[in-house]
């Protein structure tokens, strides 16, 4: 297809209008086609901080289109090697430039295993804050807040804004308010790791509540964003580090230090995944299709939680199971013990992590009964 304008936004819109006349094969495929048909697309290097279209669309996605911080010019962004790279890039920056030398990074207990590896890898000491309450199978808010209170002023706290991995337990808006109060009073630095925006509740806005709330309160913070899950772009390594600073001048200084570090590690980020994300985020039709896809994925998971819960109740499986429906996102911390998990694997060929975490996405209407029966067996006998 030949294009009539060289401005990327105009070009992509023209191509997307053309593609819209073709068979509907889904949002990612449509974005793929737009890219394939763009004769002006090349394989030149991206800028060191990545594609401008991608990084600013990513920042807008997490902070909201009407973000005051964006309007005030104090939001920066760096395209990174997916969510992992965004956490690494932020951690590496803090290891070099955080004003409180020796400050520790507190991670939730438990958390995604790479958090410890990344922060320790850049030389930042890692400590844990209580998160999972085994007794209630919910959030240990008291433990979390008291750890924040007793941590030295100006510590770094790694927080999951939604769909906490591995527990699936998220603070409520009111609990986020209490967390923000302590974070503010103690001058702690907030580092959000957002790997599941849209995947928890099905709403991109709801899942961004904590981040937007902190930004509205005036926090300076980092948000690592991954597009692996919500775009199904695992292997394309599309991620972003959104930087919210107090002033545009501080934002510029942070970006320039990150660019310097990024140059030495990856030189510049990969283009393809970020192009898919940019096409979708900057195209009204594809964006709304994406929102619909996210809602249907999230709702399917919510339905599976309900089906599993109903089945366990129907079987009279000993114990309380309301946490299955109270938790949110892809993962559920079932409360099953390591010996019970072993039996599930060996006797039932049901595979989950040894800490009892299941991926809800693995359940469907065909296998949920089988899974519930297996859980019922191990709970009664092991």
Nearest to ligand PLP of 254, 330 (CB atom): 330
Number of H helices, E strands in the chain: 16, 11
- Which residue stretch of 11-19, 82-90, 147-155, 302-310 sits at the interface with ligand PLP (rule: CB under 6 A)? 82-90
165 is an interface residue for ligand PLP by CB under 6 A: yes
Q: Of 277, 319, 361, nearest to 57 (Cα)? A: 277
**Dist CA 258 CA 49 (whole Å):** 8
Q: Over the Cα atoms of the chain, what is R_g? A: 22
329 is an interface residue for ligand PLP by CB under 6 A: no
Q: How far is the CB of 59 from ligand PLP (least distance, A)?
A: 17
For the beta carbon of residue 361, count every other beta carbon within 10 angstroms: 15
Q: What percent of the chain is helix, strand and coil (3-state, nearest 5)? A: 50, 15, 35
Q: How far is the CB of 239 from ligand PLP (least distance, A)?
A: 5
**Dist CA 84 CA 64 (whole Å):** 23
The two three-digit tokens of residue 309, written as one number: 């819960």
369 is catalytic: no
83 is an interface residue for ligand PLP by CB under 6 A: yes
Nearest to ligand PLP of 55, 74 (CB atom): 55
> Which one among 28, 30, 67, 82 touches ligand PLP, defined by CB under 6 A?
82
Dmax over CA atoms of the chain, in Å, equals 70
Q: How far is the CB of 194 from ligand PLP (least distance, A)?
A: 8
Measured in whole angstroms, the distance separating CA 85 from the mean position of its chain's CA atoms is: 13
Nearest to ligand PLP of 110, 130 (CB atom): 110
- Which residue stretch of 77-85, 271-279, 281-289, 296-304 sits at the interface with ligand PLP (rule: CB under 6 A)? 77-85
Choice among 60, 137, 229, 251 that is catalytic: 229
Q: How far is the CB of 310 from ligand PLP (least distance, A)?
A: 28
The two three-digit tokens of residue 11, written as one number: 């070009």
Nearest to ligand PLP of 160, 275 (CB atom): 160
Strands (E) in 47-104, as ranges, are 75-81
- Which residue stretch of 79-87, 150-158, 258-266, 292-300 sits at the interface with ligand PLP (rule: CB under 6 A)? 79-87
> Which one among 19, 195, 312, 341 touches ligand PLP, defined by CB under 6 A?
195
376 is catalytic: no
193 is an interface residue for ligand PLP by CB under 6 A: yes
Is the distance from CB of 156 to CB of 90 less than 8 angstroms? no
- Give the single-character DSSP code of 157: E
Nearest to ligand PLP of 54, 112 (CB atom): 112
239 is an interface residue for ligand PLP by CB under 6 A: yes
Measured in whole angstroms, the distance separating CA 95 from the mean position of its chain's CA atoms is: 22
The two three-digit tokens of residue 210, written as one number: 């904590």
Q: How far is the CB of 20 from ligand PLP (least distance, A)?
A: 29
For the beta carbon of residue 318, count every other beta carbon within 10 angstroms: 10
Is the distance from CB of 139 to CB of 159 less than 8 angstroms? no
Q: How far is the CB of 268 from ligand PLP (least distance, A)?
A: 18
Q: Is the peptide bond before 110 cis (omega within 30 degrees of 0)?
A: yes
229 is catalytic: yes
168 is an interface residue for ligand PLP by CB under 6 A: no
228 is an interface residue for ligand PLP by CB under 6 A: yes
Dihedral pair phi/psi, residue 229, rounded to 5°:
-85, -55
Residues forming contacts to ligand PLP in the complex (CB under 6 A) are 82-84, 112, 160, 165, 193, 195, 226, 228, 234, 239
Active-site residue set? 112, 193, 229
């Amino acid at each position: 297809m030949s294009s009539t304008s060289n401005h990327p936004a105009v070009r992509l819109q023209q191509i997307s209008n053309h593609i819209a006349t073709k068979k509907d094969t889904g949002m990612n495929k449509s974005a793929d086609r737009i890219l394939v048909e763009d004769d002006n697309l090349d394989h030149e290097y991206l800028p060191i901080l990545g594609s401008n279209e991608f990084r600013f669309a990513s920042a807008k996605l997490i902070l909201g289109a009407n973000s005051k911080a964006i309007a005030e010019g104090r939001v920066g962004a760096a395209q990174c090697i997916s969510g992992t790279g965004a956490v690494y890039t932020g951690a590496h920056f803090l290891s070099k430039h955080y004003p409180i030398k020796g400050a520790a990074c507190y991670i939730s207990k438990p958390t995604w295993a790479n958090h410890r590896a990344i922060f320790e890898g850049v030389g930042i000491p890692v400590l844990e804050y209580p998160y999972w309450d085994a007794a209630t199978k919910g959030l240990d808010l008291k433990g979390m807040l008291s750890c924040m209170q007793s941590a030295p002023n100006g510590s770094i706290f790694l927080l999951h804004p939604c769909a906490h991995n591995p527990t699936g337990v998220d603070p409520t808006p009111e609990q986020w308010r209490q967390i923000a109060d302590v974070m503010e009073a103690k001058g702690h630095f907030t580092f959000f790791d957002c790997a599941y925006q849209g995947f928890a509740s099905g709403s991109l806005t709801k899942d961004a509540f904590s981040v937007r709330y902190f930004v509205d309160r005036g926090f300076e913070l980092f948000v690592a964003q991954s597009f692996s899950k919500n775009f199904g772009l695992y292997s394309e390594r599309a991620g972003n580090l959104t930087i919210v600073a107090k002033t545009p001048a501080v934002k510029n200084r942070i970006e320039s230090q990150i660019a310097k570090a990024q140059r030495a590690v990856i030189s510049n980020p990969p283009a393809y995944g970020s192009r898919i994300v940019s096409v979708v985020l900057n195209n009204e039709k594809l964006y709304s299709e994406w929102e619909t896809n996210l809602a249907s994925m999230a709702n399917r998971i919510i339905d599976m939680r309900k089906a599993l819960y109903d089945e366990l109740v129907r079987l009279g499986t000993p114990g309380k199971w309301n946490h299955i429906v109270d938790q949110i996102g892809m993962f559920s911390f079932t409360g099953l013990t390591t010996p019970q998990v072993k039996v599930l694997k060996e006797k039932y060929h049901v595979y989950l992590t040894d800490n009892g975490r299941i991926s809800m996405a693995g359940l469907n209407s065909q296998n949920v009964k089988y899974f519930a029966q297996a859980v019922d067996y191990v709970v009664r006998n092991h």
